[in-house]
Structure 1
Amino acid sequence: MSLPIPTLETARLRLVAPEERHLEVEIPFWESERSRFVGGPLPGYRVWRLLATQLGHWALRGYGSWMVEEKGSGRAIGMVGLWHPGEWPESELAYHLYEGSEGKGYATEAGRAVIDHAYGTLGWRTLISLIDPENTASQSVARRLGAVNTGETFVSNPADPACRPVEIWRYPGPEAMT
């Protein structure tokens, strides 16, 4: 079964449906310290399940995350998308980039395309990002996209003492984006 996951394009990027072939770039990310702000590091054998979860999110919610590829090279550089597990306070713009892809404006460019999709195609009125207080790179991306720190926090699993509070960053609504 193939899910109807749209492809989004920007000047430099193509946002495509996650596929099993993307495991070759997702596994090194999740095994590395780079993943510490998004639930890692994790052993490589668990990454297949994470990719399946991403596709399941599309099936259950009708939206989700895309693999981000450079148009020119076709190289996968990260994952950006919309995420809303059951316990989340509301839908989130989430993103991570692979080693060597940071500092080029890719997260901001892909994030803008996803926000436009959420507000334009999906008709949403609100969107947040949940950001670890120490993740200054993610905070910078959120700021460039117009988000502000609300001063509120969220803990996805209060029963787990290792689960740290994250800050809720809110994006301007669609009326402010035009």
Structure 2
Amino acid sequence: MQAPTIHTPRLTLRPLTAEDFPAVRDFYASERSHFVGGPKDAVQAWRHFAMEIGHWALKGFGRWGVEVTETGEFAGIIGLFAPEGYPEPELGWDLMEGFDGKGYATEAAEAARHWAYTVGGFTTIMSLIDPENTASRKLAERLGAVKDGEFEHSIVGHTEIWRHPSPEALKAEGAA
């Protein structure tokens, strides 16, 4: 299965393409990738990028390339992730340099979570967040997630589990 395309008011969530790799490579080469297993060299970044694309074929869900609809700029990778060793599916987000502070991660994460609950059949979703990653913790809170445990990640080490509201809770809030 390939990622479907989803449109939000400002963004297009779409399948990753080879044209996205240079931005992903640069992201993983930078300190910006510290909380998600980086920095990585170009070969490691390529392997991770290929895994992101293959995740859809193996699991039937995955992460999308996020594009600013108006400009076509590649802003990040956001969506669902459950590689071997994860306790359950995760909603994760990686924004490229220069795209934070605009609400893009919130908008894309809400769209991905909506897809997970309405199309993907998920009943619960968590996010794994490094305790020192203040920006991701704040985003999780904006999305209504609450800290719900801890997990030792084989690549990034100690993380917190942030539990997202269930589909029923979102419906009750009028956010579904």
Instruction: State the TM-score bracket (shorter-chain normalisation).
Output: over 0.9
TM-score in terms of structure 2 length: 0.94
Work out whether 1:175 is the aligned partner of 2:173.
Answer: no
Task: Report the Cα offset of residue 110 of structure 1.
Answer: 0.1
Please give the alpha-carbon distance, in whole angstroms, between the structure 2 residues aligned to 1:140 and 1:106: 14
Task: Report the Cα offset of residue 137 of structure 1.
Answer: 0.4
- 3-state SS of paired residue (1:11): coil
The 5-angstrom pairing of residues 23-172 of structure 1 reads 23-150=21-148, 152-157=149-154, 163-172=156-165
For structure 2, the 5+ residue unaligned runs are 172-176
Please give the alpha-carbon distance, in whole angstroms, between the structure 2 residues aligned to 1:103 and 1:145: 15
TM-score in terms of structure 1 length: 0.93
- 3-state SS of paired residue (2:153): coil
User: Aligned AA for 1:30?
Assistant: Y
* Number of residue equivalences: 171
Percent same amino acid among aligned pairs? 46
RMSD of equivalent CA atoms: 1.1
User: Aligned AA for 1:119?
Assistant: Y
Runs in 1 of length 4+ with deviation above 2 angstroms? Answer: none
Task: Report the Cα offset of residue 123 of structure 1.
Answer: 1.7
- 3-state SS of paired residue (1:23): helix
Please give the alpha-carbon distance, in whole angstroms, between the structure 1 residues aligned to 2:23 and 2:2: 23
Please give the alpha-carbon distance, in whole angstroms, between the structure 2 residues aligned to 1:135 and 1:4: 30
- 3-state SS of paired residue (1:165): strand
Please give the alpha-carbon distance, in whole angstroms, between the structure 2 residues aligned to 1:120 and 1:135: 29
Please give the alpha-carbon distance, in whole angstroms, between the structure 1 residues aligned to 2:57 and 2:20: 19
